[in-house]
A and B are shown apart, each in its own frame.
Chain A
Amino acid sequence: MLIKIAWRNVWRNKRRSFITIVAIFIAVFLAIILRSLQLGMYDNMINNVVGSYTGYIQLHSKGYWEDKTIDNAFEFDQATLLNIQKIDGIASILKRVQTGALSSYKDLSKFVYINGIELDKEQRLTDWNKRLIDGKLLTNDSKSIIVAKGIAKYFNLKIGDTLIFIGQGYHGMQAVGAYPVEGVIDMKNPSLNNYSVFMNLQTAQDFVSAYNLITNLIVDKEQYFDENKIVEEIKSNINTQYNDVMTWKEMTPELDQLIEADSAGGILIIMILYMIVSFGIFGTVLMMTQERFYEFGVLISIGMKKSKLIITLIIETIFLSFIGIMSGVIASTPIINYYHYNPLTLFGAGAEQLEAAGFEPIIPMMNTYDIALAHSLIIFCISIIICIYPIFIIWRLQPIKAMKR
């Protein structure tokens, strides 16, 4: 019956309830869309840089990050690898040997970064087919290389030309080798395009005489999965005395800071939005309470417990906010899903700016329910907090005073 009373009370002043619900709807709707857009953009940025190259999580031997030489390579045993693979949220794990070397072709030379990779697994991280702009991809036993487009341009390389690398091998060994170019790739990132060379893992291990060793273990996660959870799990599976586990935030702090700064702006807008809605809900609750002061007096006089009256009012407020919230969530869901699969494409100056910074000029909306849930909860909490006012009023209410006309 309390629920029935509350429900009917919601529709007592249809116009006012409608306005309140619309206000909540707009707030929830805009907050979800705005946040999905923002977080989706960041996710895409992260994906561009981190997801396709650095990986969300990396494992190195201790000291490697400060001193990235081949001497800090390590052997990763198969048993541990299998254990880590079982961790929730991990999409794939790939081994790499990364080492700097001097490359030369004809009379030109240039510093490059050699990546020894497990090609078929890397494929899952980055769609190499999409990025290949010339030649073809490596096969498993090929001893050729793929170079990023910046290097190809610098040396003016054609498919089939041979690059010579000179570098530092494992524990003082010489590292020298000549490798034919099999493909040219666009890394979608200016600095990666300038330095990256790819070869099969084994070819790279041979080059630096680091047999069975790797420098980086890249862990790729499932979309929207919390990387910190994964890191914790990995740490419990390895000996942290010898190995470091780092997230992309630690490896590329500039990107993290950029996102944090931008995100703060969005949150501010949403906070202002929420403030406006809070006042709207408060106004409604205020009028709802004031108008019914006499009625509350009658109800308490005839023996209705104050707690019951308070519950009725809370249910009423919950109904109001719930209708607003649900309609906001329902209305935003198809839009978010649509723009998740059909990202917004930027044009003009904005697009150029993003591209120059190494990002694709598209914004796919983030389609996780976390956003809707978070913002629904916020509005919900706001409306519950607003109920403190009528609770206070009813708690202090003396029936004969309330019924005095």
Chain B
Amino acid sequence: MNVIETKKLSKFYKQADQDVKALNNVSIKFQKGEFTAIVGPSGSGKTTFLNSIGGLDSPSSGKVFIESNEITKLNSNQLIDFRLKNIGFVFQSYNLIPVLTAKENVEFIMLMQGIVKSERNKRSIELLDSVGMKEQLNRRPNQLSGGQQQRVAVARALASKPKFVLADEPTANLDSSSTSNLLDIMNKLNKEENMTFIFSTHDQRVIERANRIITLEDGKILSDVNVK
């Protein structure tokens, strides 16, 4: 079964007197365990695409299915709940709640899912360990480097046991060693846990790490290549 399927997904914006087609009839499928990079120049529609399949943005037309659920039918409150239970997010920056420690940030999402304390405790430590942040459990975001913050964000995204993780330019604000470190971790989680990752980037070194590369241009799929 497909984890994600879009059917003729379009998003139009009215800018000045002309219509901008941020997404133009995008129909695409994602399978479980894929490690996909969405690439393309700035303004090509990467963010719009990720927001649409993540239930953060509603398309102008077309449908999005997550497994068998048509999320384009859900209202904004249902979507909040759907995101909590099914999707992990990593944003470009400032992902974490500043007043919570790394561990509390990871636990927070499980708390909202109603997971009991002992389980939260165990799993948050495990996850932070798997992203190499075991030593910084009790640090607050402002005591962590940008790369460390992104690793905590990845741990948090996985905490809810999502069906897939969406990451919009997760390495945009990182130096090259932090970038490759984060990619290593995502790669490892993809392999070991068979977790589906979809991330956007325009960094060539990041693109090289993907199994599948989807290139967007003017809201359309220019190419869709399976690398391995």
A residues bordering B, Cβ < 8 Å? 1, 4-5, 8-9, 12, 294-295, 298-306, 308, 398-400, 403
Contacting residues, chain B, for A294 (C-beta < 8 A): 94
Q: How far is the CB of B170 from chain A (nearest CB, A)?
A: 14
Complex: A1 Cα to B81 Cα, angstroms: 19
Q: Are A303 and B160 interface neighbours, CB within 8 A?
A: yes
B residues bordering A, Cβ < 8 Å? 51, 54, 56-57, 76-77, 80-81, 83-85, 87, 89, 91, 94-95, 97-100, 104, 107-109, 111-112, 156-157, 160
Contacting residues, chain A, for B98 (C-beta < 8 A): 12, 295
Contacts A1-B111, A303-B112: A295 and B80 contacting too (C-beta < 8 A)? no
- Which of B87, B94, B107 makes the CB contact (< 8 A) with A298? B94
Q: How far is the CB of A231 from chain B (nearest CB, A)?
A: 54
Q: How far is the CB of B95 from chain A (nearest CB, A)?
A: 6
Complex: A140 Cα to B52 Cα, angstroms: 97
Q: Are A308 and B97 interface neighbours, CB within 8 A?
A: no
Q: Which residue of A lies closest to B95 (CB)?
A: A298
Complex: A300 Cα to B83 Cα, angstroms: 9
- Some 8 contacts from A to B, beta carbons below 8 A apart, are A12-B98, A298-B95, A299-B97, A302-B157, A303-B83, A303-B112, A305-B112, A400-B51
Number of A-B contacts (CB under 8 A): 59
Q: Are B94 and A302 interface neighbours, CB within 8 A?
A: no
Q: Are B84 and A303 interface neighbours, CB within 8 A?
A: yes
Complex: A204 Cα to B90 Cα, angstroms: 95
- Which of A9, A12, A308, A400 makes the CB contact (< 8 A) with B56? A400
Q: Given A295-B97, A295-B98, A299-B97, list of 9 further CB < 8 A pairs? A: A1-B104, A8-B100, A295-B94, A301-B83, A301-B89, A301-B91, A305-B81, A399-B56, A400-B57
Q: Are B97 and A303 interface neighbours, CB within 8 A?
A: no
Contacting residues, chain A, for B84 (C-beta < 8 A): 302-304
Q: Are A302 and B89 interface neighbours, CB within 8 A?
A: yes
Contacts A301-B56, A400-B56, A400-B57: A306 and B80 contacting too (C-beta < 8 A)? yes
Q: Which residue of B lies closest to A303 (CB)?
A: B84
Secondary structure dominating the interface of A: helix
Q: How far is the CB of A402 from chain B (nearest CB, A)?
A: 10
Q: Which residue of B lies closest to A9 (CB)?
A: B99
Q: Are B99 and A8 interface neighbours, CB within 8 A?
A: yes
Complex: A4 Cα to B77 Cα, angstroms: 25
Q: Are B111 and A5 interface neighbours, CB within 8 A?
A: no
Contacting residues, chain A, for B51 (C-beta < 8 A): 400
Q: Are B56 and A1 interface neighbours, CB within 8 A?
A: no
Complex: A295 Cα to B99 Cα, angstroms: 11
Complex: A12 Cα to B98 Cα, angstroms: 9
Contacting residues, chain A, for B57 (C-beta < 8 A): 400
Q: Are B99 and A302 interface neighbours, CB within 8 A?
A: no
Which of A9, A304, A308 has the largest number of chain B CB atoms within 10 A?
A304
Which of B77, B99, B157, B160 has the largest number of chain A CB atoms within 10 A?
B99
Contacts A5-B99, A5-B100, A295-B94: A302 and B156 contacting too (C-beta < 8 A)? yes
Contacting residues, chain A, for B89 (C-beta < 8 A): 301-302
Q: Are B95 and A303 interface neighbours, CB within 8 A?
A: no
Which of B80, B84, B109 has the largest number of chain A CB atoms within 10 A?
B80
Q: How far is the CB of A312 from chain B (nearest CB, A)?
A: 10
Contacting residues, chain A, for B109 (C-beta < 8 A): 302-303
Q: How far is the CB of A80 from chain B (nearest CB, A)?
A: 65
Q: How far is the CB of A141 from chain B (nearest CB, A)?
A: 80
Q: Are B100 and A303 interface neighbours, CB within 8 A?
A: no
- Which of A304, A306, A400 makes the CB contact (< 8 A) with B112? A304
Q: Are B97 and A5 interface neighbours, CB within 8 A?
A: yes
Q: How far is the CB of A293 from chain B (nearest CB, A)?
A: 11
Contacting residues, chain B, for A301 (C-beta < 8 A): 54, 56, 83, 89, 91
